[in-house]
Every structure is written in structure tokens, then in C-alpha cells.
Amino acid sequence: MVGAGLGVWKLMRGVRQLELHRLILALIIFCLLSMAFLAYYVSNSPKIKEAPPLPFSDCGGGGGMSQGASTGAAGGGPGVQRAPLFLPLRQGRLRQVKAVDNSRTEPVVLVFVESIYSQLGQEIVAILESSRFRYRTEIAPGKGDMPTLTERNRGRYTLIIYENVLKYVNLDAWNRDLLDKYCAEYGVGVIGFFKANENSLLSAQLKGFPLFLHSHLGLRDYRINPNAPLLYITKPNQVEQGSLPGDDWTIFQSNHSTYEPVLLASTKSSEALAHVGPSPLRALHATVVQDLGLHDGIQRVLFGNNLNYWLHKVVFVDAIAYLTGKRLCLSLDRHILVDVDDIFVGKEGTRMKVSDVEALLNTQNKLRALVPNFTFNLGFSGKFYHTGTDEEDRGDDMLLQHRMDFWWFPHMWSHMQPHLFHNVSVLAEQMRLNKIFAQEHGIPTDMGYAVAPHHSGVYPVHSQLYEAWKSVWSIKVTSTEEYPHLRPARYRRGFIHNGIQVLPRQTCGLFTHTIFYNEYPGGSKELDKSIRGGELFLTVLLNPISIFMTHLSNYGNDRLGLYTFESLVKFVQCWTNLRLQTLPPVHLAEKYFQIFPEERDPLWQNPCHDKRHKDIWSKEKTCDRLPKFLVIGPQKTGTTALHSFLSLHPAITSSFPSPTTFEEIQFFSGANYENGIDWYMDFFPFPSNVSTDFMFEKSANYFDTEVAPKRAAALLPRAKILAVLINPSDRAYSWYQHQRAHQDPAALNNTFHAVVTAGPSAPKDMLVLQRRCLNPGCYAAHLERWLQHYQPSQLHIVDGALLRSNPALVMEGIQRFLGVTPIFNYTQALMYDDSKGFWCQRVEGSRAKCLGKSKGRKYPEMSPESRAFLAEYYREHNMELLHLLNRLGHPLPSWLRQELQSTSWS
């Protein structure tokens, strides 16, 4: 009985344990399912978010920093309406100031930096580059020689900038006197910066000036003096309230009438004024001063800090304009265009709803009151129409309902990258689908503007894209952020290719993922900082035309696109005199190339040297088809013979012959350059072995074409360069005979001596022939231009006379220079042809295979009087070549040694 009870008890306990285990297992499964369901719900349901941030409503603070708060009426309290500052006018003194006249100087800025790595120096250069101002940097000399300041009675620089003004005032007496005399005589101004450090005195007089500096101060409430003559872009009577960043500010004090404050501030506390002297707590102290030149005849602008503070950048731009007499200055007009990419493309939860479209229209109307003609420019891919939620699809419909209120431009139908299409017909068909969608929905199709998804195919150029754009949409204008590179943004430029104008496109800190104000990368303060004097503001300040890239998602959710541009426009108009306006893309492009005509011609670069470019370049293309070296000429020096000898080498491959210019492509020197690098690479085969195959091209007019070195170095920065030099007198005579053989009337109707000695009043065709005879022989000047873009180690000078007399020896040196293997035996490959009078290829049976009848022509000897004239004409040029070759460590060509030995000036 007891045993049976014990058995029942054990059975019941086992059942209870089993049930407990099952219960625990069920709880675990329930928890896991709950977590999975919660994760799905959180990731797929709309976020509960705060109301979108309010844009800046006046010149006093940012809506983003006080979301939802009313800004109040003018004068309502701190940080609301800035009280204007009015300083007493002193027109009598200002009338004594001489107008800036530096017309006898080149429009180049000389910048003295502390080092090539100094931050302030880099910021100065960045502003000059963004403004497209020419400049030269030098390490500021404490002692030693000043750079040459004049050339042929013209000043080489129109403005001097010192990163550290102490390097200027502490120059040794000789250099200081030299620089001051230059500035006074040529009307050149000086900009200087003083940034206090731990070694700076609290108070000191600036050496040689009636000006005192007081450093290590904390300041607040920045003001602009409306009477400062340099103000141009900067709008006066504004007050930036609050503490200025840092406690290392310097103020300037002087009783001399030559100094006019530009920016003023109060100190944070009375204790900070102990070393300045007694003054009211809220007294104003100058942190930027303008020297009107009443002291020593030289006008200057001095900054008591660096360029970190945004207002200093604006005043710095004004100082450049004023001190150069507006020679280095943009107009006050600024054209902006806001592109909204990816219309209909965004994924669910990021697209625009009806309320977002209403806000878009409302903001556009508000901005039109501030920016004439302001219109959002919408880029669409029709395939994704009505692919959002029901609410977002209604937003799509409302956009189309108000389609005539906006401008429109096409992306690709399926939003694919154009460089993935290798067949122009297939690419055009994708575009037609988008055009049919536009026509069916009443979207305007005549704007003449398009943007490729991810900027694919625009640059690097995918020629099929340009052809398809023109055939389907009649596109005249596009834009990209990729030319010449994405970063740094200040280098972005425009160009024209195949009849389509390409404008630089700017980013504004808004990307597809930046859709919530409080989740902005780095915090919302980073966006506000960009708007209030930061990167976005500087883009407008330094660029007369800005096309901004935004995305559909930036106008849903927190509507950061609306917040950003309404705030930006108001901030620009609060603090500057810039005149903002908007134009349609085609008119914008016309204006852009009116302002920057030098940008019409592109500068093709190697796509494989930029990862971003390689990613948006066709996989069917390869940089391995680009040549490893160039034979650059000049003409009539033996370059065709050199081309034929090089082509005999088993590891060296020449470009395919051109149907119009024989063996020469002439890409870098003329109109062929406009065809682009796809056209250029088609002249080269695919190498069988990239590391050992050496491809090259010979175009003899590269040598003396001004643009050729820059173009070649942009596309082929690692290429090696071969130049063949003969006696320039013989080269000139050979060119004359070449032109006679080609029936040039100027050569047929005039003797060689008459051509080379012709005066400036001679007939035009005669002067053209004279220039082609004489100019290429100024060898040193042309080589120096190539050496501006290539290292000396990349240049090999071929002795043309030795190439003619002993080509095997010359070819052995060229092979070593190129590093080509195996070493080819040219002694066996070449033989001398008595009838031709030069070396030719040896073929079977020891026969000679020579160049065509046009090579090795027989013509009369040059007259002694012509040779004497040319010897004198080229005397200085040959001396310059001698010095250049000695500097480079190159051996002298045999003909140059003979020239030196046969004249008394050796």
C-alpha cells in the first residue's frame, strides 16, 4: 500500500515537472515572437516625430534652435531683433582716401604663409580658389630675399596677404622698404592676420605703426561699422549677439585718423580690460580695422583673429575686392537653383504626402517674395509613380495636379545608371518610356535639362548618354558634382561636351537619409551651422551660380529641404547685400559660361585615378588602353623616323593611324580633344600584357601647342615624354620646304629669307608661315611649359642629329629611359640607305624598307645670310636651352655644342 502511494506520488511529480518545462518553453517562444513582432512594427510603421522645425524667421536666431517657438515682434528681447549700430559719419576724413588704382599690376595675389600645412594659410587659399582668383604662395621670409615683385615695369601682384602680420612688420629693413615702395608705387594693398598664442604679449604696439594690439580677450556682441569703406557684400548695421568663440581675440586701438574699424565687439567682462585701460564695460573695440593709407600711403586691412569665424570670411572677401579696386571681385548677383531629385522614386515611408506638397507650394510662394522667379526643379523617374503607401500615392497625384507650378527634368525611366547601357538605342528607349510617361501626365518636356542618376555617364563621359539625351529629350544642359572631382567642392567646374553644357552641382548637406532634424548627422546644430555662415552659406557667397542637389525624401518627413533653403535665403539677406534670383537651367547655363568662358573647354582626367569615377565608368572601358609615353615633336626634327624605329620593338605598340592625320592623333593640341577620351582610346589596342606592353602615340605639334602639356598631364600624369631637338635654324628651313611641297602660297611666292625676316606689316599668310617656321625652335620656352606639368625624370631629350647619324645608339638610350624589356638590337634591325641618305628598317634579304617619298626630300642649301640671321635670332633661345639642360643634368645635343663652339658667345 505504501509502495503504491509512493509510485503515484512519483508519477504526479514527473507530470508536474514536464508541465513546468513545457510552460517555460512556451514562455520563451512567446517572448521571441513578441520581440520579432515588435521589431517588425517599429521598422515598418511611421515614426512618431515632432513637428518639422521652423525656418529662421528674422535676422536674430534660428528656428531650428527654438523649434515651435514664436519669434515675437521686433525688439521683443534678447536674440530676437538686432538693434542697429550707428557710428558717427566722418566723411571729411574719408574724402582724403585715394581711390585704389593697381591697374599696372597683374591680377594675382601673393600669399605669405607660415608653412604649407598651416590652417589659416589653407583657408586663405581655399577662398581664393573658390573665387577663381589667381594666386601664388610663398613661405613668409623672416630674413632673406623677397620674391621678384616687378617685371617689365608692371607689378606681378595686385594684393599681398600675410597669414601672420608679424612676419610683415618684422621684415628686415631692406625687404620691408622694398615691399612698401612696391605697394605705394603700384597701389597694392596688404591684408594681415594676427592670431594670439601662448607667447603673445597682452598689449604691444605694432612695430612701425601708430596702432596698439591687446590680446587674449573674450568678446561678445559683434557689430559691423556701416562707415567702413570696404563693405560691399557685407550688410552693415547688424549685431551678432552672444559670446564669440574662444578667448584669444585681439583688439586694435589707435588715435590716428588712418584707422577705420570694420568689426567691433564688447569684452565679456570688465576684468578682461585691465591691460587695455579704463573704459566702459560695454565699450566697443575694433577686431578688424581698415588702414586708409593716410599714415604711409599704403592701404591695409588687419584682422585680430583668423578666418574661423564666419563673418571674417565675408569681410575678407570684401577686403580683397576693395584693395584690388574691384578687379578681384564677383558681382552681387547670385543665381540659385534647387533640384529635387528622385520624384516618385523614394521608398515607402520617405515620400511626400499631400500635406508635404502643400508645404512645398507654400514655401515656394514665400521664397518667390525674396528670390525673384524661385521655382523648385523636380527630377522624375516615371516607373515608380504610385509605388508608395496610399497616402504617399495621393501626394504623387497632388504633385501632378500642380505640375505647372514647378519646373521638371527627367532622370532615367527605371532610375538605372546610364553607364551600364552600352547600346545607345537601348539607352534611348529607356528615356522614351520616361518621356511617354511625362506626356501622358502633362509634365512639361521642353526644359532642355536632365540629370543622370548618381551622375553616371556625365563625367567621366559616357558618349552614349549624350547621344541619347540629344535624340530623345533635346537636352542642352545637365549638371554634375563629379567634374573634375567631388572633393574638394571648391574645384568643381563646368564644361561643354557634344553640344551639352555641363554645370557644376553643389551638395547642401541633405542626402536621401537625412530626413529628420533631430537625427541629422552630428546633431541638428551641424545643419544650422552650415546655414548660418558655414559651408552652405559659403557656397552661395563664393559662387555666382549654384545648382543644389536635394532629394524627394528631404521634402517629406521633417521637410528639411524647406527648412534649409528658407533659412538660408533669410540668413543671406540679413547679413549680405547679395541679390538672389533663380533662372531656368538653359538660361542659367548661358549666364554661367558668360561669366566663366574659359571653362567651356573640358580638361579630361584619368578615370582610373578616382575611385568614384571608376565606379561610374563603363566596365567595358579600361585605362590600360591609354599610352605610356608620348613623342611630342616638334615638327620636322625626325619624329616620324623615331616613330618607325620605336614601332619595330616587340614590346612597343603605336597608336592606330588616323584617317586624317596619318600616324598622328593630334588629340591634346586641337579640335580632336573635344571628342573625349572614348574617342582617344579607340586609337589604341587592348594590351596583351599591361605590365610589359608599352603603347605610345606621336603627334609632333604637341611640343609647341600651349594647352597640350596641361591636357596631357591631366589624362596621362605618369606618362614619359620624348622630344627630338635639331638645330632650330635647320628645323625652320625644313618646315618652309615642307610647306612649299604642300603648295602653301606664302612659301611658293616668297623666299625663305623674306619669310623669316618679314616685319609685322607683312601679309597675314606670310606672318603665319613665319610663326610656324620660327616659334617651335624656341625650345627652352616650350620645354619649360612641359616641365610645369611633368617631372624632369619623365622627360627625355633626343638628339635629332645623332638620331640621324647613329640611330641604334639613340634607341638604346630611349629603351633604358622607358624601362622597356627586352632590349631590342637596333644595330641588326636598321641599315643605311645610300639613295635615301638615312637609316631604314632592314627586311629579308638585307633590303631596306624606308619611309615614304615625302621624307628625306632634297632641296637647296640654306643661304648664308639666312643662316646668319637665324643664328642671331636663336642666340638667346639656345643659351636658355643650355642653362635648362645643365639644370636638368641632361647631356647637350651635338648640334647645340657645335653652335656654342662656332660662335663667340660660347
Looking at residue 274, the DSSP 8-state letter turns out to be T
Catalytic residue, candidates 235, 268, 529, 636: 636
Q: What does residue 127 show for φ and ψ, rounded to 5 degrees?
A: -70, -40
Distances (CA, A) of 788 to 116, 456, 632, 732, 851: 19, 32, 15, 26, 35
CA atoms within 13 A on the CB side of 229: 24
Looking at residue 619, the DSSP 8-state letter turns out to be T
Distances (CA, A) of 386 to 353, 390, 392, 433, 605: 12, 8, 8, 16, 41
**Contact residues for 876 (Cβ-Cβ < 8 A; gap 6+):** none
Contact 431, 468 (CB under 8 A): yes
CA-based nearest residue to 649, from 809, 414, 821, 466: 821
Pairing type for strands 108-113 and 134-139 reads parallel
Place of cell 520617405: 350
Mapped onto helix, strand or coil, the DSSP state of residue 190 is strand
Told to judge if 636 belongs to the known catalytic residues of this protein, a careful annotator would answer yes
Q: Quick one: cell of 561?
A: 529641404
**Contact residues for 834 (Cβ-Cβ < 8 A; gap 6+):** none
CA-based nearest residue to 698, from 764, 767, 637, 643: 643
CA-based nearest residue to 527, from 779, 459, 249, 519: 519
CA 889 to chain centroid: 35
Distances (CA, A) of 12 to 548, 790, 845: 77, 94, 112
CA-based nearest residue to 495, from 477, 507, 508: 477
H/E stretch holding 131 reads none
**Contact residues for 880 (Cβ-Cβ < 8 A; gap 6+):** 780, 781
DSSP 758-804: --TTS-HHHHHHHHHHHGGG-HHHHHHHHHTTS-GGGEEEEEHHHHH
Radius of gyration from C-alpha coordinates of the chain: 36
Distances (CA, A) of 804 to 29, 722, 799, 813, 895: 91, 16, 9, 14, 12
CA-based nearest residue to 141, from 120, 163, 122: 163
DSSP 211-248: -EEEEEE-EEEEEE-TT-TT-SSB-SS-EEEEEPS-S-
CA 249 to chain centroid: 33
The b/e string for 490-527 (b: 16+ C-beta within 10 A; e otherwise) is bebbbbbbeebbbbbbbbbbbebebbbbeebeeebeeb
For residue 760, which amino acid is it? P
Place of cell 585681439: 250
Q: Compute the distance between CA of residue 683 and CA of residue 658 in angstroms, rounded to an integer.
A: 8
CA-based nearest residue to 438, from 478, 470, 414, 408: 408
User: What number of residues does the chain have?
Assistant: 906
3-state DSSP: the chain helix, strand, coil percent, rounded to 5?
40, 20, 40
DSSP 712-774: HHHH-TT-EEEEEE--HHHHHHHHHHHHHHTT-HHHHSS-HHHHHT--TTS-HHHHHHHHHHH
Q: Quick one: cell of 467?
A: 547621344
Catalytic residue positions, numbered = 636
